[in-house]
Amino acid sequence: MKQLVFEIVRQKWRVLCILLTLLLLNTALAVMVNSYQLPSLAELQSKWNSLRRQYAGIGKVDESTLHQQAAADLEKLKAQIPEKREFARILCELYETAASCAVDVGAVTYKPLQVKEEDLLSYQLTFSVNGSYAAVKSYLADLQKNQELLVVDSVSFSNSDLYLENVVMDLHLTVYLRGGA
């Protein structure tokens, strides 16, 4: 049996040296991780947690201040909502924006709805615009930049001709106006 072991060692000495080297390297790395890196990691985690706890309290305001700030913001928003009589001006701005973006506007339909909780009237507008993709995209971007309380509810795109770039965008918007009664 001893001869067989010596014969295997003699024939496979390179493989055994590589395995022994890997075993020693693995043992050295395990000792380094357990003696140096794990304690250092635990110390850094505790520092991180203490800093998080320390800075978590910064910037917190009490509930009354938060409520007052929210009420002031709500009043600013209500002041920005146009009067009901300005609906024609808003429609005109939609058409002017379309003309500046080089898109054609189809028929506009609208449905007024009373907002029960507030003294607001919402107009749900539905219309389509068509033009090149870039123009239609530009028009949508301009709508989103509008200063009025205008909400883009849904958008759908279609192109019936594969060879012409004539995109049709169907829009559903909601415009909120004051003085709904």
pLDDT greater at residue 56 or residue 40: 40
Tens-digit pLDDT profile for residues 96-136: 999 999 999 999 999 999 988 878 899 999 999 999 999 99
Query: What CATH fold (topology level) applies to the domain 82-178?
Result: Alpha-Beta Plaits (3.30.70)
The residue assigned the tokens 């947690």 is 49
Residues making up the chain, counted from first to last: 181
Reply yes or no on whether the pLDDT at 170 is more than 90: yes
Contact at 8 Å (CB) between 179 and 114?
A: no
Q: What is the pLDDT of residue 78?
A: 84
**34 contact partners, CB below 8 Å, separation of at least 6:** none
Contact at 8 Å (CB) between 109 and 125?
A: yes
Q: What is the CA radius of gyration of the chain?
A: 35
Tokens describing residue 181? 């009664």
Q: What is the pLDDT of residue 47?
A: 93
Position 180 confidence tier, pLDDT thresholds 50, 70, 90:
low
pLDDT greater at residue 153 or residue 63: 153
Reply yes or no on whether the pLDDT at 181 is more than 60: no
Q: What is the mean pLDDT of the chain?
A: 88
* Residue ranges in 12-131 assigned as alpha helix (H): 13-32, 38-56, 63-80, 87-100
Average pLDDT over residues 66-92: 89
Tens-digit pLDDT profile for residues 13-41: 788 888 899 999 999 999 988 888 888 98
Tens-digit pLDDT profile for residues 136-169: 999 999 998 888 888 999 999 998 877 888 899 9
Average pLDDT over residues 37-56: 89
